Amino acid sequence: MKYYVSVIIILHSLSLFGQPKSFQSYGIGGGGAMFFPKINPTNDNEFYISCDMSELFHSTDFGNSYSQIPFTQFQATNVSTYEFTNNPNIAYSNFNDGNEGFPVKTLNGGQSWIQLAGFDSNLGGIYRMFANFNNPNQLIMNYYGDIVISNDGGATFSLVKHCANNGAGIIASGVFYDGNNITIATNEGLFKSIDSGITFTAFTTTGIPTGEVIWHFSAAKSGNTTRFICITASIADVYNGLMPYDYYGLAKGVYVMDNLNGNWVAKSAGINFNSDYIMYSGMAQNDVNTIYLAGSDEALNAPLIFKSIDGGNSWNKVFKSTNNQNVITGWSGYQGDKNWSWGETAFGIAVAPNNSNKLIFGDFGFVHVSSDGGNSWKQAYVDVKDQHPANIVTPTKKTYHSIGLENTSSWQIHWIDAQNLFACYSDIGAIRSRDGGKSWGFDYNGFSVNSLYRIVQLNNGNIYGACSNIHDMYQSTRLADAKLDANDANGKIVFSIDKGENWTTLHTFNHPVFWLASDPKDNNILYASVIHYSGGTGQGGIWVTKDLNKGASSTWTKLPNPPRTEGHPATIEILKNGKVLCTFSGRRNSNGTFTKSSGVFVYDPSSGNWSDVSHSGMYYWTKDIVIDPSDTTQNTWYVGVFSGWGGAPNGLGGLYRTKDSGLSWTKLTGSQFDRVTSLTFNPQNNNQAYMTTETNGLWVSNDIHSINPTFSLVDSYIFRQPERVYFNPFNKDEMWVSSFGNGMKMGKMNSSDLPEIIEISTFDILPNPFDSKLSLRFNNIFLDDYLEIYNIKGEQVFKSKITNNYYEINTINWATGVYFVKYQQQTIKIVKQSQP
């Protein structure tokens, strides 16, 4: 019996190509710098903390788990703080635009942000801001040389004080709001308002020695007592923009003032300023007796937290790092995988405004919290199930689960087998998983480096890694000779023959090794990218060994330099014909100018000659080259390019393609993207490819082989700078993304990620399910457009222009399974059943 059925529309047609609906963070947690936390005054389990890699992390359970604000909504600087107000919809912060940034405001609880109308970019960026929690319209901001106040939510600002010294600027060391009274502490003294910020006057004080100025300030009020505390520094040492890592010898004194009596009283009993390098103070707004100081303990090479319970009369160290006496640790701690020296110093301290027992600090790699006034501490960067008890040495080589606080750069994810993975990182070197990527640790032996950039595995199972002590390679800060030409003791290749558990040095170059590529036809041939210019006489270039089987005794030979290049090789691919395909990345000379030394080059081992096959847009800053897996001739390549700056390199960035091995190129992305890193094809659908960018996020094309492919933002991937995309070869529904500053994320592409069926159409099919023939009936309004049908892999199986209301398609040769009919804005699921 033949019959019509109403076809059901599936919204979000991209889902038919398997794009992940969501991503989850994986990794070891922490590892990168965490700046200036802020606790919600109305909920002391909630806080925000920023990272210099642009994330603003958010916890609502006091550091047991984190979310992060999508980059399309907000990007943080290292001085961004989340300024709460008593209206949960209104908050302020500092937005990272890649330059000096600008202040922003949310009116919907952080879902979107708008630039403050009263911001004056002519004065530079904002270094600090202080919102009045009890008055959401009041905000104080600190430019380099000016302090300003707004009483209308940032629409307009009036000047509080211009700096007396343009070199040092004026530092807003802290602000205390008390009804109509406002006190601003600065390196030029105190400024006070008694009319809610309409006017300010200098408040004369005594007690601070000549030559010292206020660096940091906190305050509290309880009953009839108001108490100020400040940390002072030498006038010669301070300027606006000092960062937490500038702590060495900065503090000179600690002073307390009660009830604005004008007299600062020294309160530093128990503090040794020669080794107790305090930088920051903290108080609950309702507790005048409990005060905290934070910084670095040189004697212990660890973060430092002092506490006073008597208004500053006496101080005691409460972060007891030796033997982790009162600290529940993650992978960093006393004699752990990383010792306390990794965290080193507090990057600010936050005390809950209404609960002096709750406090948080970040440092060079981690977040630690206390809920009992510093009597005990807990790590806040790995799953609590993985943490280690206080008062024991932190065990090494354990594994950890991510809780969302991933803020380190990941370069590659490699599957040794279905369960054993290795991930290449900067700063923390490498991490390993033995459970398919669920948990990660430093459970390997034989090398410890700042950066592992690339892993390659041979047919015999041996694994080789490219190492360096220089991080962030070929990012904008790692293009000049001063850093890349320096001797690099860990510029080497390491190898493992036991799935990554034990490693041995294969060869030391004393210069960074960025990439490795093996010859698929000969396990004894391995190529390496080694970075070193040294005025044109350096050792940078492509190196090769042909006796890899000799291990550490293998012989390495540097190939001739390709034309135009200057010792900055990047990616390497070995073609089936034996030729070596390479990119060389950017170099900036001593004047900061990009040199015309980058591009795409092909080496012919039979002749020993290089060919420069670069497009002119690649001459300054080329990134990855990717061979199209669907082109069996390997003539189709894709290349990511970054735009530089300073003239000729401007505006060149994007994705380029050649179909004739570099004889001609087409820029596929026009001016849509300024910097593209890489491209990865979906192994289940070669028409789909994922493109990574520097600050524009992750993008997908579902028609990558078109003359003009289109790209759409993958909204579910919420970080601005993915580096590369990897599909799990043992489960191709898992798509993993490495990143510059946000670790690893994984999204699943299986059919369960398809959206729900939610709407009925008048677009009919006869029958559904179908077998040898498919009939379609259209409304007149749908005529004169193309009908497309795709299989479950996203491969197009039919395309035709519809000119009649009724259409028949012969499907006798179609495989059984699910198909998707795409017509105008509709995507329709149909099923081919077995033929009778």
The predicted model scores a pTM of 0.89
For residue 800, give the 3-state DSSP assignment. Answer: strand
Q: How is residue 547 written in tokens?
A: 């006796």
For 253-269, give one letter per residue: b (16+ CB within 10 A) or e.
Answer: bbbbbeebeeebeebbe
Least confident interval from 275-284, 487-496, 513-522, 754-763: 754-763
Report the pLDDT averaged over residues 725-743.
98
Least confident interval from 150-159, 376-385, 631-640, 789-798: 789-798
For 510-538, give one letter per residue: b (16+ CB within 10 A) or e.
Answer: ebbbbbbbbbeeeeebbbbbbbbbeeeeb
Residue 103: is the preceding peptide bond cis (ω within 30°)?
A: no
Task: Tell me which H or E stretch contains 197.
Answer: none
What stretches of 517-633 show up as alpha helix (H) in DSSP? none
**778-789 residue pLDDT tens:** 654 444 567 788
Report the pLDDT averaged over residues 729-749.
97
DSSP 653: -
- In sequence order, which residues have a C-beta less than 8 Å from that of residue 569 and are 6 or more positions away? 514, 515, 529, 530, 531, 540, 541, 542, 582, 583, 584, 585
Encode 258-284 in three state secondary structure: ECCCCECEECCCCCCCCCEEEEEEECC
Report the pLDDT averaged over residues 588-596.
97
Q: Is the pLDDT of residue 771 over 90?
A: no
Least confident interval from 2-6, 228-232, 381-385: 2-6
Q: Tell me, what's the pLDDT at 836?
A: 56
Using pLDDT thresholds of 50, 70 and 90, give the confidence band for residue 447: very high
Mean pLDDT of the chain: 94
Task: Tell me which H or E stretch contains 482.
Answer: helix 481-484
Q: How is residue 454 written in tokens?
A: 């690339």
For residue 731, give the 3-state DSSP assignment. Answer: coil
DSSP secondary structure of 232-244: EEETTT--TT--T
Question: Residue 244: which of 218, 212, 277 has the closest Cα?
Answer: 277
**Distance between CA atoms of residues 293 and 305, nearest Å:** 6
**Distance between CA atoms of residues 546 and 687, nearest Å:** 37
**Distance between CA atoms of residues 242 and 215, nearest Å:** 10
Q: Is the pLDDT of residue 548 over 90?
A: yes
Domains of the chain, each with CATH number or no CATH: 5-18+762-832 (2.60.40.3080)
Q: Is the pLDDT of residue 759 over 60?
A: no
Q: Tell me, what's the pLDDT at 456?
A: 99
Using pLDDT thresholds of 50, 70 and 90, give the confidence band for residue 767: confident
**688-724 residue pLDDT tens:** 999 999 999 999 999 999 999 999 999 999 999 999 9
**128-185 residue pLDDT tens:** 999 999 999 999 999 999 999 999 999 999 999 999 999 999 999 999 999 999 999 9
**Distance between CA atoms of residues 193 and 200, nearest Å:** 5
**Distance between CA atoms of residues 408 and 130, nearest Å:** 29
Report the pLDDT averaged over residues 30-36.
98
Encode 340-374 in three state secondary structure: HHHHCCCCCEEEECCEEEEEEEECCCCEEEECCCC
Q: Is the pLDDT of residue 89 over 80?
A: yes
Q: Is the pLDDT of residue 762 over 60?
A: no
How many Cβ atoms from other residues are within 10 Å of residue 32's Cβ? 23
Encode 417-447 in three state secondary structure: CCCCEEEEECCCEEEEECCCCCCEECCCECC
Report the pLDDT averaged over residues 680-684.
96
DSSP 618: G
Q: Is the pLDDT of residue 553 over 60?
A: yes
**570-587 residue pLDDT tens:** 999 999 999 999 999 999
Q: Tell me, what's the pLDDT at 5?
A: 37
